[in-house]
Structure formats: structure tokens, C-alpha cells
Amino acid sequence: MKIKISVPGKIILSGEHAVVYGKPAIAAAVDKRLTVTLQSRDDGKRGVHSDAGDTKLIKAAINVVKDELKLRKKGAGRHSIFTNGYELNVESKIPVGAGMGSSAAAAVGAIAAFMVAYTKNHSIDHKKINDLAYRVEKIQHGNPSGIDNSTVTFGGFLWYRKEFEFLKTFWKLQFKIADKMDNFYLINTGRPDETTGEMVQTVRERFCKKKMPIGTKFLQILDNIESVAKQATLGIKGEDEGMLMEAIRQNELLLEKLGVVGQFAKNIVREIEAVGGTAKISGAGGIKDKSGLLLVYHTDKRAVEKIAKKYSLECSTAELGAEGVKLDKLIV
């Protein structure tokens, strides 16, 4: 049996961090994909290889599938791919540790591959895959909102909210970026020293440690992030460039207030703003040194490229709203 699954990366247009505290966020799948190939063997051996970071997360994903399928007990699942052996290979075009959902995509891809192998009609069950991937995110990050795994699983644009641990809701927004507003760019400022889990913890310690219930200053920032997430969404839907750009600018300032943007990224954002563009970090950020991905909006591509070049950073266009996890190939 050979199964090939592909999963998109993701960006958060607005609302990261606040989404951990029950606020809404808007995210989009991006057209940089990660591919998982699962091939059965007949010698009982198991191999896991990945060019997308260490394989610990993928092994955690495999264990989550085994738990779900109740295959962890001795003797269970005989004649299965787990007992006969497999080769799992992950290849990724999503930059690792940049806030583009590469770990969520790896978990989703590995889970999808094994679930497809075990499903009678070998189909993709998005909801099930997403639920299992959330469990892996929890092992990985401690307190995730679930927005990363949901976005790369379902694809498109997601208006996401985690009401409770047991109620994570999202609305798949049925819109496209209008041609005239197709001016998004991605600049990778570099892999942060901190993990997503550590950045989420940094915010918690800064604002919530000794303040339960949460203090008014933090509540105010969260409320303001909710407003800008709505503005960004209305800006895209209403094709109102000014509104979208202002929302991105305000969101970046609020993320700086939360303390998740490092000086290097701030400098680049200010330069982009000085030449008429707007930019924000996308994802958890980072403060010790680099801050991961910058989502940039500018009508002049060359102006953005010039700034990226000055800092010797990669700059690429961003196709937003890519398809979620999908089965690319199946040989039974």
C-alpha cells in the first residue's frame, strides 16, 4: 500500500494569541505544502524520515492514531501496517518554525496517512483528523487554541474561536482575495529561539500570572485584537484596502504590546510602513532574536522585495485560501 497526503501551511491574518483566550481569529491556508508518503513494508520494520524538523512530533502523531484505533495493546492490529512495517516520509515546502504551521501540517499529514490506511473506503475524514491533530498540538504546545491544525486540515479561510476546551468552532469563510487586493507577501525573519508553546506561556506569565481574574489592561488588548480581526475580515470581504491595511497595522501594534515581537522584526515592520505598506507577525512570534513570519501587504512588490533584500531575507508571494489536507495518491 502506498498513500500520499499533502497538507498546506497556514498564516494568521489576525487574532493570534488572543485566540488562546477565547477571542476570534481569522486564518488562511497557504499554497506551500507538506507531503507525507506512507508505504507498507513486509519485514516488520518501521522507518520515519522528515525534512521538516525532528521526528518526535510525527511519532507522537502515530501514537495518537494507535490510541484512537486501540492498537497499543499487545496483539491488537495484527496484519496491520503497524505490525507488517512501514516507511513514512515527510517532505515540506513550509518553512520550519516560522509560524506557518509546519508542525501542525506534519501531525495532520501523518495522522491522515494512517487513518486513510485504516479506513475501509480509504477516504479523508477531516473532522476526525483534526480532532486527533489537536491532541498532538496539546502534547506539543500545552495550551493551543487549535487554530493551526484546523486551518491546515480544512483549508480556505477560517473564522475560528475556541469557546471551551470541548467547543472549538469555526466558520469557513466563503471568500477569495479580490484580484486588486492580491498584494500579500511573506517575509521570513528567521526561526525564533522560542517555541509556540513558550510564546503562549510568555504572554500568560506576563499578564495572567498573579492576576486572576485577568486584569483590565490585558482584557483591553484582547478586545482590541478582536476588533481588528473583524476589521481585517470586513476589509477583505468588502474589498476595502484602507480598512485591511489599518487593521494589519493596529494588529501588529497590539502584538507588540503583548510582547511577542522582537526588535529585528519591529525594525522591518517600521521600514515597510515608512514606504507605504503594512505588516504584522503571523503566528506566535519570538522576542529573544527572530520572530518568524511577517505577513506584508503592499501594492508595490518591488518595495517589499527591496526591504527583504536589505536584510538578506526571503520574500515570497502568498496564495491565500489553499485547499486543506488531501489524498494525492493511493495504491492499495
Q: Which is closer to ligand MEV, CB of 85 or CB of 197?
A: 197
Q: Which is closer to ligand MEV, CB of 118 or CB of 159?
A: 159
Q: Which helix (H) or strand (E) element contains residue 257?
A: helix 241-258
Spatial separation of the C-alpha atoms in residues 128 and 163, rounded to whole Å: 19
Q: Which is closer to ligand MEV, CB of 244 or CB of 284?
A: 284
DSSP, residue by residue, 120-182: TT----HHHHHHHHHHHHHHHHSS--SHHHHHHHHBSEEEEEEEETTEEEEEEE-----GGG-
**CA angle at 284 for the pair 280 and 289, rounded to the nearest 5°:** 80
What is the closest distance, in whole angstroms, from the C-beta atom of residue 137 to ligand MEV in the complex?
7
Name residue 158's amino acid: L
What is the closest distance, in whole angstroms, from the C-beta atom of residue 310 to ligand MEV in the complex?
27
What is the closest distance, in whole angstroms, from the C-beta atom of residue 281 to ligand MEV in the complex?
10
Q: Which is closer to ligand MEV, CB of 71 or CB of 318?
A: 318
Cβ atoms < 10 Å from Cβ of 47: 12
| Cell (9 digits) for 196 | 509556540
By beta carbon distance, the residue nearest ligand MEV is 145
Q: Which is closer to ligand MEV, CB of 4 or CB of 33?
A: 33
Q: Which is closer to ligand MEV, CB of 35 or CB of 145?
A: 145
What is the closest distance, in whole angstroms, from the C-beta atom of residue 31 to ligand MEV in the complex?
18
What is the closest distance, in whole angstroms, from the C-beta atom of residue 83 to ligand MEV in the complex?
35
Q: Which is closer to ligand MEV, CB of 165 or CB of 300?
A: 165
- Contact residues toward ligand MEV (CB under 6 A) are 12, 16-17, 19-20, 99, 144-145, 147-148, 196, 200, 283-284
Going 183 to 262 to 224 to 103, the CA torsion angle's sign is: positive
Spatial separation of the C-alpha atoms in residues 133 and 324, rounded to whole Å: 14
What is the closest distance, in whole angstroms, from the C-beta atom of residue 327 to ligand MEV in the complex?
25
Q: Residue 81 region, left (φ>0) first, then alpha (ψ -120 to 50), else beta?
A: alpha
Spatial separation of the C-alpha atoms in residues 135 and 250, rounded to whole Å: 33
What is the closest distance, in whole angstroms, from the C-beta atom of residue 15 to ligand MEV in the complex?
8
Q: Are 35 and 106 in contact (CB under 8 A)?
A: no
215 secondary structure, DSSP code: P
Spatial separation of the C-alpha atoms in residues 246 and 249, rounded to whole Å: 5
